[in-house]
Amino acid sequence: MGEKTGRTGKLDRSDKRFLFWSVAVLALLIFSLLAPHLASHDPYEINLSLVTAPPDSEYWMGNDYVGRCIFCRLLHGAARSIFAAVLVVMLSFVIGTLIGTVCGYAGGRIDIIVMRLVDAVQAFPNLIFSISVAAMLGSGLKNCIIAMVITGWTQYARLARTKVLDIKKKTYVRAARVSGMSGLEILLYTILPNSLSPLIVAASMHVGNAILSFSGLSFLGLGSPPPYPEWGTMLNDGRSTFQTAPWTILFPGAAIVLTVMIMGMFGDSLNAKLNPRKDESNEI
Amino acid sequence: MELLKVENLDKSFLSSKHAKLVHAVNQVSFTVNSGEFVALVGESGSGKSTVAQIIAGLTPADSGAVFLRGERAAYPYFREYYKFLQMVFQMPVDSFDPRWRIGKVLETILKRFAYPGNRRMRAAELLSMVGLPLAYLDKFPAQMSGGECQRAALARALAVGPELLICDEITSALDVSVQAQVIDLLLQLKEKTKISLLFISHDLALVQGISDRVLVMKDGMIVESGSTSEVLGAPRTAYTRQLIQSLITIEDAEKESR
């Protein structure tokens, strides 16, 4: 994988693309952490003289229906919207991979039961399932995350299981046994690391999706309670005013689209790098 | 001394292709003595690889027993058994984890079996033993040819200093000139060390040059056994004659083509 290109010191196109998008993602993450400190106004400050005021030099993105600074609210919401999504992906990844790996390795009855459960969860459209779970648990960021993990882990479980079933048959697993590795060592040091690449790609693509569904849940009022500036909540706030003041919905929407796009492109470039179609010899 | 003894090994499994029970190994018994090179020959599907897998502790037998140096080895195997017996597989490149450099593979196995000295140096020594240059310590399996990988696999097997080496069709994925090199390597081992070999192959020409004793397997049973010259010189069963016949025909064809 990267070693060959690393040796010659040359970057091919997929390397360059990957480098570009990882820098973009890194910049986005750093920005979202610093964002609250860059805000020029208090995001909660209500100013009735500025209700739905258009963008100007002081309020770059205008003001919302109670005159709050949209720009400052976007910045404050960034960290929470992005990191909630990252947290959802991380939890889903760990739980799903663990369960899928054990199912693939152990097989038998556990495998059948868990995989039917996965089928059952995946039979529902993801967002609808999350909405019903979040509605059951009540609104709030924590419940939102739980709801999304409950639907999210299944794709990792399925991927991990398939990959483990494939790797399990390889000669090098038998060679590892003859080299004196125990079953657990083989699972941890041989099977799991060789199964990870499609899972990592799935995770990087999942982040963008999670931001989107997360905004969706917030939009429906299942995210953090109202005064908190979540991107999806801001879209919802702008719903009543967007015909007269389109900026109330334009900027939060653009922030979501931009973030999802960057995450998606990053996932795509990672996929191109880890699974190059032209060079199958790495996969043997 | 009896290094390896298998007694009445039996194994069947459900064939996925034909959905019927295949009796892969049927009451197989034989021994391998210290320092002896024994060949197990037969067509593909005769069950010889399954016998190897059972002896190496990679799959359980339905019944029967494996004795390593007189001690019964029950499945699953203890780690200590692999200090005594090692195995080299058919697919050279596939028998290495693609993410590990050869050096790391060798050092890891040396560490696991508590090699007391400098492991890096020992790894280099092992590579030179199988005729690979030092630089291969830093190579990934995908950067090596099949023959080179098979040499590295031999180095890995020899790392623990085993008394018994099982070679399961180790030359069948290599081309002819490379086959000869690997066989040469085994013959050198025979001269220099006291290692015993269970050489599994379908290629009688290779077997002829390397083994002291031959076991012929057909449909899961051992149909003939004896010293190499006995079995190949004066075969008692029609099946062995047939195997030899096909070998001779190939040799003749080669001579004619020259």
Residue B82 lies in a domain: yes
In chain B, residues 155-174 whose CB comes closer than 8 Å to chain A? 156-157, 160
Give chain B positions within 8 Å (CB) of A175: 87, 89, 95-96, 153, 156
> Which pLDDT belongs to residue B122?
94
> Which pLDDT belongs to residue B124?
94
Residue B115 lies in a domain: no
Contact between A198 and A159 (Cβ < 8 Å): yes
Chain segment B93-126, per-residue pLDDT in tens: 999 999 899 999 999 999 999 889 899 999 999 9
Least confident of A218-227, B80-89, B126-135: A218-227
Residue B190 lies in a domain: yes
The verdict on B16 touching A (C-beta cutoff 8 Å) is no
Residue B109 lies in a domain: no
Contact between B122 and B129 (Cβ < 8 Å): no
Chain segment A153-177, per-residue pLDDT in tens: 999 999 999 999 999 999 999 999 9
Chain segment A72-100, per-residue pLDDT in tens: 888 888 888 888 888 999 999 999 999 99
User: How far B248 CA lies from chain A's nearest CA (Å)?
Assistant: 33
Residue B203 lies in a domain: yes
The tokens describing B181, both together, are 């090199």
Band of residue A6 on the pLDDT scale cut at 50, 70, 90: very low
User: How far B158 CA lies from chain A's nearest CA (Å)?
Assistant: 11
d(CA B160, CA B108): 11
Residue B11 lies in a domain: yes
> Which pLDDT belongs to residue A280?
43
The verdict on B93 touching A (C-beta cutoff 8 Å) is yes
Closest chain A residue by Cα to residue B145: A281
Look at strands B63-68 and B196-201 and give their pairing: unpaired
Is the predicted ipTM greater than 0.90, yes or no? no
Contact between B112 and A182 using a beta-carbon 8 Å cutoff: no
Residue B114 lies in a domain: no
Q: Which domain holds residue B52?
A: 2-96+160-257
User: How far A102 CA lies from chain B's nearest CA (Å)?
Assistant: 19
Band of residue B257 on the pLDDT scale cut at 50, 70, 90: low
The pair phi, psi for residue B160, each rounded to 5°, is -85, -5
Residue B138 lies in a domain: no
Give chain B positions within 8 Å (CB) of A181: 112
Please provide the distance, in angstroms rounded to a whole number, between the alpha carbons at the two ends of chain B: 45
Q: What is the CATH number of the domain that holds B92?
A: 3.40.50.300
Closest chain B residue by Cα to residue A180: B79
- Domain annotation for chain A: domains and CATH numbers: 25-39+64-279 (1.10.3720.10)
Closest chain A residue by Cα to residue B88: A175
- Number of domains forming the structure of chain B: 1
Chain segment A95-145, per-residue pLDDT in tens: 999 999 999 998 889 899 999 999 998 888 888 888 888 888 887 888 888
Question: Where does residue A101 rank: exposed (0-12), middle (13-18), buried (19+ CB within 10 A)?
Answer: buried
Give chain A positions within 8 Å (CB) of B95: 171-172, 174-175
